[in-house]
Structure 1
Amino acid sequence: MPNSVAVVTGAARGLGAAVAAHLAEHGWAVAGMDLQPSRTALPLRVDVTDAEALGAAVTRAEGELGPVTGLVTAAGVYEAVPVGEITDAQWERVLRVNLAGTANACAAVVPGMVARGRGAVVTVSSDLGLGGSEGDAHYAASKGAVVGLTRSLAEEVADAGVRVNSVAPGAADTPMIGPDSPWRAAAFLDALPLPRLVRPDEVAAACRFLLEARGAFVGQVLSPNAGATI
């Protein structure tokens, strides 16, 4: 069995697909968990908001690939809505996928890491969870909560040999950002110190760095954001 097994949620497209591909290129056996099939060693179709199904998928991944030593929680949804127009259903959807989905993945994977005394978790938050943005209140709130979850979990399991950190990307060049999005507008990009969108491979590299890093990276947030938040 491979020495390094990773679970990547949201692995079918966007940042999750980039992370899964990057890890595979660097020797990881990846179980991709998504509503859609992913191009991974073990593509499993599962809803991250279903804790029981996600737990069963992790059990299957460990049975087929070996003990999970890395987790990247890249599953997420984004929409821009003015705060006064956000419906209860929209609040629930964003929080269930972005926050509860992250918590479910951690709950499915981390106990095994703790029992073995080894493992690393990288949650995917967002630069908007650090700095906020007009029209993104429910998304920013969900991603800010992911940072809080990350730091709390990091403190909880560090002495068991499990490191938990977060990557909080800025606007990245993925299908999540539509062609007419203000994040693609020249006025926004030209205002950045690095005047372009973040590349998915840059986010993936940050995730792998935190998975593989040795030392005192515990409860930290690494933000590849082209200088949007400094």
Structure 2
Amino acid sequence: MSEQPVALVTGGASGIGAAVVNALAGRGFAVGCLDLAGSSDTAEHTVAVDVSDATAVSAAVAQVRERLGPISAVVTSAGYYEMAPVTDISADAWRRMLRVHLGGLVNVARATLPDLIDRRGALVAVASELAVGGGDGDAHYAAAKGAILGMVRSLGAEVAGQGVRVNCVAPGPTDTPLLASDSPWRATEYLSTLPLRRLATPHEVARCVEYLLCDATFSVGEVVNVNSGAVI
């Protein structure tokens, strides 16, 4: 079993999650990855799991703990994105969006909190700029990500006295495969509205996650907006 500090990253096989895995591995962590469909080239152990399934998440976390050791850092990055007018969003689509984003955070937090409390660790959730500002055609996604902000602030208040820091990053559109080549977020018309005139990169978001986990020792319940100035 590794004597390194252990981090757990959900959605760590691609996009922002993969960049977080790389950043934490570079910081000296042994990284375990939970991902629905892929495996991480950098993580030391990957478990295929749907984060919306609480029982499966508990078993996956136990597997990472057995393989790598007690977990002292957690990043919940698993998720997906889709656009639709609110009148076109089915009941199943609403439920699935909430189960994956909010439910994924809750399931992973509940499974890892004993370790985080024991090791006075930290958790960072990945939300979205849309959780703060909303968006046309993004109602169920923005609602699910907005719920993450409430969970982070409440959980942060609940466990800070036990030495656990809970914070959040809220990226704007980021240059990952999650955004299709014809996505409106990639359009010149949208990019021209941003103070930085460009998308964020996964590496930039990962550096903010790394900071909140490792260096921001006085931050609790914070939301760091990594969005090229879209929300100021």
| TM norm structure 1 | 0.97
The equivalent residue for 2:93 is 90
SS in 2 for 1:195: coil
The equivalent residue for 2:110 is 107
In structure 2, stretches of 5+ residues that fail to align are: none
The equivalent residue for 1:3 is 4
Q: Does the CA-based 8 Å contact 1:16-1:74 persist in structure 2?
A: yes
SS in 2 for 1:69: strand
- Deviation of 1:211 (Å): 0.4
Q: Does the CA-based 8 Å contact 1:2-1:28 persist in structure 2?
A: no
Residues 107-137 of structure 1 show CA distances to partners (whole Å, capped at 9, x for unaligned) of: 11112222x1511000000010011011000
**In structure 1, what residue type is equivalent to 2:20?**
V
Task: Compare 69-78 and 36-45 and name the one that shifted more.
Answer: 36-45
Distance 1:174 1:78 in 2: 12
In structure 1, stretches of 5+ residues that fail to align are: none
Task: Compare 73-82 and 34-43 and name the one that shifted more.
Answer: 34-43
In the alignment, structure 1 residue 54 sits paired with structure 2 residue 49: no
**In structure 2, what residue type is equivalent to 1:111?**
P
Aligned residues: 229
**In structure 1, what residue type is equivalent to 2:55?**
E
The equivalent residue for 2:230 is 228
**In structure 2, what residue type is equivalent to 1:99?**
L
The equivalent residue for 1:180 is 182
SS in 2 for 1:122: strand
Runs of 4+ in 1 over 4 A off after TM superposition: none
Q: Does the CA-based 8 Å contact 2:72-2:119 persist in structure 1?
A: no
The equivalent residue for 2:19 is 18
Residues 14-54 of structure 1 show CA distances to partners (whole Å, capped at 9, x for unaligned) of: 11111111111221110010112222111111110111111
Distance 2:93 2:104 in 1: 15
Q: Does the CA-based 8 Å contact 1:171-1:183 persist in structure 2?
A: yes
SS in 2 for 1:176: coil
RMSD, matched Cα = 1.0
Residues 58-96 of structure 1 show CA distances to partners (whole Å, capped at 9, x for unaligned) of: 112111211100000000111000111111111111111
Distance 1:181 1:87 in 2: 22
Distance 1:113 1:229 in 2: 31
| TM norm structure 2 | 0.96
The equivalent residue for 1:203 is 205
Q: Superposition pairs for residues 103-142 of structure 1, below 5 Å?
A: 103-114=106-117, 116-142=118-144
